[in-house]
Amino acid sequence: MTEQIERELLLPAPLEEVWEVVTAPGWLADEVRLDLFPGGDARFVSDGSAKDGWVEEVLAPDTADGGGARLAFWWAEAGETATRVELTLDPEGDGQTRLRVVETRPLERLDVIGIPLPGSGGTTHGPALLAAA
């Protein structure tokens, strides 16, 4: 079983502009560092609170085949359960973009069968954890 929050917005901007906004500081957090490649580090800081994680998937607008774009990453505050965030951007008519945000918290961090989530920064998720094992 999972817990999930989902939101969809139709934005009056082209896909490339929306991509720039959602991957830059200000939208996800005041300070954002995203290494935009699978396995890259992710860090988000707002109001003195930090979430660290790793990038699972990146399909930037310039690499997409005329379709949409996607960014999926895991994040967690220290000592908290990691959640997976997926941003999907699809072009709509008249220069608009549909943005879908889904944040999912898998039951028991997906390690029900004893396999920890990969992670970075000493958290219990991301590629660095697997490398340390």
Q: Could you tell me the CATH number of the domain that includes residue 97? A: 3.30.530.20
Structure tokens at 127: 């590629």
Domain that holds residue 68: 2-108
Helices (H), 3-126: 15-23
36 within a domain of the structure (yes/no): yes
The number of domains in the chain is: 1
- In this predicted model, what pLDDT tens digit does every residue of 17-74 receive, in sequence order? 999 999 999 999 999 999 999 999 999 999 989 999 999 999 988 765 667 899 999 9
125 within a domain of the structure (yes/no): no
130 within a domain of the structure (yes/no): no
81 within a domain of the structure (yes/no): yes
- In this predicted model, what pLDDT tens digit does every residue of 9-19 receive, in sequence order? 999 999 999 99
Rounded CA gap, 31 and 89, in Å? 22
